[in-house]
A and B are shown apart, each in its own frame.
Chain A
Amino acid sequence: MSIILKAKNISHQVATSDGPLTLLNNISLQLALGESLAITGPSGSGKSTLLGLLAGLDRPSDGKIWLGNNEITAMGEEQRAAVRARHVGFVFQTFQLLPGLTAKENVMLPSELRGERKAAKQAEAFLDRVGLSHRLAHYPRQLSGGEQQRVALARAFCSIGNRDETHSSGVLFADEPTGSLDAHTGEKIIDLLFKLNAETSTTLILVTHEQRLAQRCSLHLQMLAGTIAVDSLPDGDDNYSAVSV
């Protein structure tokens, strides 16, 4: 299987008034196309930081990351943004829809940022797939939490799954996607997420506190104080999946 995401010995520190603080320490992993990975761990263990670095939102202090064929750690901010635009979708805990844009316009946003012309039709199609074809012109404030997260899902999949490919080369990053929803709504959103994931053969990395949700992923990585405490990643040639040392 082809590797879509690979991280090698990544560490990350930030400067504080008390000196440098280590958030991640020597983490290595790799994911094949279409796999799903759950990252769990207590608050402050570095889950979200790892997610952000893998998505190319920032560069680690040390180590290398490849997204598709691109070594994103060797890229500048503009180049990383271009890679995100082509290969990355995001679902956030607090939805992160732009309040000034309608549901359809929010879904169109990634395509518009890429300068694509078919943005409107694709957005309508994805909103239809998440069951919100009747809510196209509604603003986020007019939608329930569950509906907002469905719009966010449509935006994420529209972002990476809209190209004419059999298998999406994109990776969907989800940061506690049910964290702001009640259990019942959260369950529905997760069902939808995995349904769309299966339909588009997207690679999924999600951060969650919920074991039930983690269990639905093919791979599981548990973090503690910036290191991988337990993992179910397959061993690779370069010992990427082992507990970090």
Chain B
Amino acid sequence: MLSLRLLSRDWRGGELALIATALILAVTCVTVIAHFSDRLTRAMQLQSQSFLAAERVVSSSQLLPQVLLQEAKQRGLEQAQSTSFASMLSAGDQFQFASVRAVSNEYPLLGELEIRRSTAGASTKVQHGPKPGNVWLEARLLPLLKIQLGDKLQLGNATFTISAIVDQEPDRSDNLFSMGPRLMMHIGDLASTQIVQPGSRIQYRYLFAGDDRALDEYIRWLKPQLSAHQKVLDLRDGQPRVASALDRAEGFLYLAGSLAVLLASVAVGLTARRYSLRHTRYVAVMKSLGAGRKKIFQIYCGQMATLAAIATLIGLLLGSLIQVYAVMLMRDFFPVSPPPSSLLPTLTGIATGCACTLGFALPPLFRLAHTNPMQTLNRDWSNPDRREWLGLIVGPSSMLLLIWWLSGSLATTAALLAGLGLLIVGSALINRLLVHSKLANLGGSWRIALGSLQRRAAFNTLLIAAFGTALLTMLAMTFARTALIDEWQMQVPEQAPNHFLLNITSEKLEPLRTLLEKKQLATSDFYPMVRGRLSAVNGTPVRERPQRANALNRELNLSWSSTLPDGNRLLSGSWWDQIDKGVSVEVELAARLGLELNDQLRFSIGGLEFEAPITSLRSLDWNNIRPNFYMLFAPGSLKNFPATYITSFYLPPEQKLFVNQLVRSYPDVSIIELDKIIQRIRDTINQVSIAIETVLALMLVAGVLILVAGVRASIDERLQEAAIIRTLGGNKRLLLQSLVLEFGLLGAVAGLLGAAGSEITLAILSAKVFNLPFSMHSALWLTGPLLGILLVGTAGTLSCRSAVSQPPLKVLRGLS
């Protein structure tokens, strides 16, 4: 009862409110992130599975041996199969190139197809493909072939009835570069078409689903038996680009969340310290009245436990509400309603509340319980700092354990530990330099300000470290967020190319260019393309070389360019301004094939042999949406070979019908439509950005809390000194100047340390967490100290304004 009464009465003092706010903030932050991550991960899992139409897929350019499929059956796994290829369709005198997919009865194992039985009808979801003798078409094919639902069409040697329009298939994005509009058929009809012949370019997909353990075991058994042109696709292959954005976002969120917890904890620690100092007198009185150490600890622990429990509950509630809002924002991204959170996020929130309270709020109270009751008689209310070490060990230790748990990364935790250690050592050194500087010789307010800093040198070191930590995290996370979101936006800028045109012949090049220009559609360059196979390296046939890669099993798109295309970076060798022949090879492919500069490559193009030395190695930005080539030749090198061209362009959604015009006017040109996928990626990125900014905002609030807590932690002493100076004749201006100088100096030093720390942190984050290129941030070094002076100076001066504005007697009475 007594502890609850003291809790309600002490609320007015402000410290408990600040501790509660910091705890709420920490728990909210962690709960939001944990909920978000938990639901996101599980939704991603569901979504990826539906993007794959299965839990695992084996993709192959050859039929998979029956023995492998038989094994899956014996292990009780569900199976489905699909076969994809490009082929010409005909209906009457109309012809159209289409992307054909033949599926088995079991397709899809996961996810649903959306079909329409009439042109104007609504889509319905089904979990099967067309029946034998029937085909389903993409709507665009109907006007192109001038046919209706129910009509017949010819595919190879067989005739089929068009029974539905297929609007959506779960794993359509599995092959972005599937050519042309979709035709879906039953796999049993494939033989009757007589299209698939030995040597045909076919993509076989074997879909599997079933018990997780059985599936994992089967895939483990299967993998060693697959050849280089067969690969297993799992969850994250469903949408690699989105997965990578979400991975980074998750990394950022957990890091920002951990730092917000760290900041909030420091705020809790500083405030609890002041609370403990202010309560030294009460405890001495209670002890003199017969309260023992245990009783005092019981009273204050009861008080803090109640406060922590209420704050944790509020934090959990707020966290849940915010995550519901975040998931609602991202609902378009999820194909199905994301599954409800597990219990883990709530447990994480509770653990955070406990860690903050146990690590940061209780050690000062522990010290409080050791107050000497003799203090009631000698009226010395200073709390001897004999047990300050306890807080300095217990707090950071519990926090590092929590961060380790949250981030799951020992490297991140170690980096933070090292950063904090450096910050404290740096604070102590700079503080020492400052108080021993000649600045005091400037007299007046400088002497008062430096004198004040000197008197509290030990605590100021802690304060600078706390302010520095706050500024470090605020700066680092703001800069990281900018870099991260900018990078994403750069990958899919507003008008990123969303359509590709392939197989453009030389004759069609100019008319097509003119048409696109007339429509005012921004295109990337038209890149020439010659299809050829790498046949030998330095005279050794590739099939005899130890290094194998998919690229050796198929024809490569060879191109040439006078300039280094956007997103390409020359890593070694020379570009064509210095030499006029040779080939530039993408560096990762070169590594896989064991290729080095000056190696002589032999290509087989249309039965003709062609040789070129490797003159440079390039890196490619695979994330940008534009034509990219493994092999780029010097202009003119491939002039004797027939080339087609490729380009990409941005088509605004309102001009989508232009695609039909293109298909009709240029039937031999292949069109790849990426607009829906790009839009989905962009939406996801925007929504994840909102999540990041929400957490960042929470973290910035935690940073500001530290500033307030830090200033308030030493305010009583400062107010007392200021009142005494005024009583002794110091004028308001002198006092105000000294306060501004004192807090300004603290802020500047903290800002400088914060900037240095941020730069190091950003370097580590760029390399280890976000995989982004690192560059120095000159703006940090200016922003850090300025922000420090502004925030700490303002918060400090405002908090101490009563020392200047009120009569000194009132200030002293208020303190007693």
Question: Which residues on A are within 8 Å of B, measured CB to CB?
Answer: 48-49, 51-52, 55, 57-58, 77-78, 81-86, 88, 90, 92-94, 96, 98, 100-101, 105, 109-110, 112-114, 155, 159, 175
B289/A85 in contact, CB under 8 A: yes
- Out of A55, A77, A86, A96, name the residue touching B285 (CB < 8 Å): A96
Bound Cα distance A112, B285 (Å): 14
What chain A residues lie within 8 Å of B379 (beta carbons)? 93-94
What chain B residues lie within 8 Å of A105 (beta carbons)? 5
Residue of chain B at shortest CB distance from A106: B285
- Out of B9, B289, B295, name the residue touching A100 (CB < 8 Å): B9
Q: A52-B377, A112-B2 are in contact. Are A90 and B372 (CB under 8 A)?
A: no
B290 within 8 A of A: yes
What chain B residues lie within 8 Å of A110 (beta carbons)? 289-290
A175/B292 in contact, CB under 8 A: no
Q: A96-B281, A112-B1 are in contact. Are A84 and B289 (CB under 8 A)?
A: yes
A85/B282 in contact, CB under 8 A: no
**Distance in Å: Cβ of B814 to nearest Cβ of chain A:** 10
**Distance in Å: Cβ of B281 to nearest Cβ of chain A:** 7
- Out of A81, A93, A94, A114, name the residue touching B287 (CB < 8 Å): A81
A48/B378 in contact, CB under 8 A: yes
- Supply 30 A–B pairs (Cβ within 8 Å), ascending by A: A48-B377, A55-B288, A57-B288, A57-B372, A58-B373, A77-B292, A78-B293, A81-B290, A81-B291, A81-B292, A81-B295, A82-B290, A84-B288, A85-B291, A90-B376, A92-B376, A94-B816, A96-B285, A96-B376, A98-B285, A98-B286, A100-B9, A100-B13, A101-B5, A109-B2, A110-B289, A113-B290, A114-B290, A155-B289, A159-B290
B733 within 8 A of A: no
Interface band, chain B: 20 to 34
Quick one: CB contact mask for B63-93 with A, threshold 8 Å, 1 for yes? 0000000000000000000000000000000
Quick one: CB contact mask for B796-816 with A, threshold 8 Å, 1 for yes? 000000000000000000001
**Distance in Å: Cβ of B108 to nearest Cβ of chain A:** 67
Bound Cα distance A175, B288 (Å): 12
B294 within 8 A of A: yes
Residue of chain A at shortest CB distance from B813: A141
Bound Cα distance A162, B407 (Å): 59
What chain A residues lie within 8 Å of B373 (beta carbons)? 52, 57-58
Bound Cα distance A85, B293 (Å): 13
B293/A77 in contact, CB under 8 A: yes
Q: A51-B377, A105-B5 are in contact. Are A159 and B292 (CB under 8 A)?
A: no
Quick one: CB contact mask for B293-307 with A, threshold 8 Å, 1 for yes? 111000000000000
Tell me how many residue pairs across A and B have CB atoms closer than 8 Å: 90
B509 within 8 A of A: no
Bound Cα distance A86, B289 (Å): 9
- Out of A83, A92, A109, name the residue touching B286 (CB < 8 Å): A109
Residue of chain A at shortest CB distance from B377: A48
Bound Cα distance A98, B291 (Å): 14
B5/A113 in contact, CB under 8 A: no
B374 within 8 A of A: yes
What chain A residues lie within 8 Å of B1 (beta carbons)? 112
- Out of B10, B291, B374, name the residue touching A113 (CB < 8 Å): B291
B410 within 8 A of A: no
Quick one: CB contact mask for B364-376 with A, threshold 8 Å, 1 for yes? 0000000011101
What chain A residues lie within 8 Å of B291 (beta carbons)? 81, 85, 113
A88/B285 in contact, CB under 8 A: no
Residue of chain B at shortest CB distance from A105: B5
A113/B295 in contact, CB under 8 A: yes
Q: Which residues 7-46 of B have a CB within 8 angstroms of A?
A: 9-10, 12-13
What chain B residues lie within 8 Å of A83 (beta carbons)? 290
B310 within 8 A of A: no
A100/B10 in contact, CB under 8 A: yes
Bound Cα distance A110, B288 (Å): 10
A101/B288 in contact, CB under 8 A: no
- Out of B289, B294, B378, name the residue touching A90 (CB < 8 Å): B289
Besides A51-B377, A101-B6, 5 other A-B contacts (C-beta < 8 A): A48-B377, A48-B378, A81-B287, A84-B289, A155-B289
Bound Cα distance A155, B378 (Å): 20
Bound Cα distance A55, B2 (Å): 24
Bound Cα distance A58, B286 (Å): 14
Bound Cα distance A78, B372 (Å): 12
Bound Cα distance A92, B379 (Å): 10
What chain A residues lie within 8 Å of B9 (beta carbons)? 100-101
Residue of chain A at shortest CB distance from B378: A48
Residue of chain B at shortest CB distance from A58: B374
Interface centre among A82, A96, A109 (most CB of B within 10 A): A96
What chain B residues lie within 8 Å of A159 (beta carbons)? 289-290
**Distance in Å: Cβ of A148 to nearest Cβ of chain B:** 12
**Distance in Å: Cβ of A113 to nearest Cβ of chain B:** 5
Q: A52-B377, A57-B373 are in contact. Are A100 and B6 (CB under 8 A)?
A: yes
**Distance in Å: Cβ of B336 to nearest Cβ of chain A:** 54
Bound Cα distance A181, B173 (Å): 87
What chain B residues lie within 8 Å of A92 (beta carbons)? 285, 376-377
Bound Cα distance A84, B286 (Å): 11
Bound Cα distance A82, B288 (Å): 10
Residue of chain B at shortest CB distance from A173: B288
What chain A residues lie within 8 Å of B285 (beta carbons)? 92, 96, 98
Residue of chain B at shortest CB distance from A84: B290
Bound Cα distance A99, B598 (Å): 86
Q: Which residues 373-423 of B have a CB within 8 angstroms of A?
A: 373-374, 376-379
Interface centre among A77, A88, A159 (most CB of B within 10 A): A77
**Distance in Å: Cβ of A121 to nearest Cβ of chain B:** 16
Quick one: CB contact mask for B420-451 with A, threshold 8 Å, 1 for yes? 00000000000000000000000000000000
Bound Cα distance A105, B373 (Å): 20
7 A-B pairs with least C-beta separation: A85-B290, A100-B9, A81-B292, A84-B290, A48-B377, A78-B292, A57-B373
Bound Cα distance A109, B295 (Å): 12
**Distance in Å: Cβ of A131 to nearest Cβ of chain B:** 22
What chain B residues lie within 8 Å of A86 (beta carbons)? 290
What chain B residues lie within 8 Å of A94 (beta carbons)? 379, 816
Bound Cα distance A100, B684 (Å): 53
B292/A90 in contact, CB under 8 A: no
Bound Cα distance A151, B281 (Å): 18
Bound Cα distance A113, B291 (Å): 6
Bound Cα distance A82, B376 (Å): 18
What chain A residues lie within 8 Å of B6 (beta carbons)? 98, 100-101
Residue of chain A at shortest CB distance from B284: A96
A52/B374 in contact, CB under 8 A: yes
B288/A113 in contact, CB under 8 A: no
Residue of chain A at shortest CB distance from B281: A96
**Distance in Å: Cβ of A89 to nearest Cβ of chain B:** 8
Bound Cα distance A83, B373 (Å): 14
What chain A residues lie within 8 Å of B293 (beta carbons)? 77-78, 81
Residue of chain B at shortest CB distance from A80: B292
Residue of chain A at shortest CB distance from B294: A78
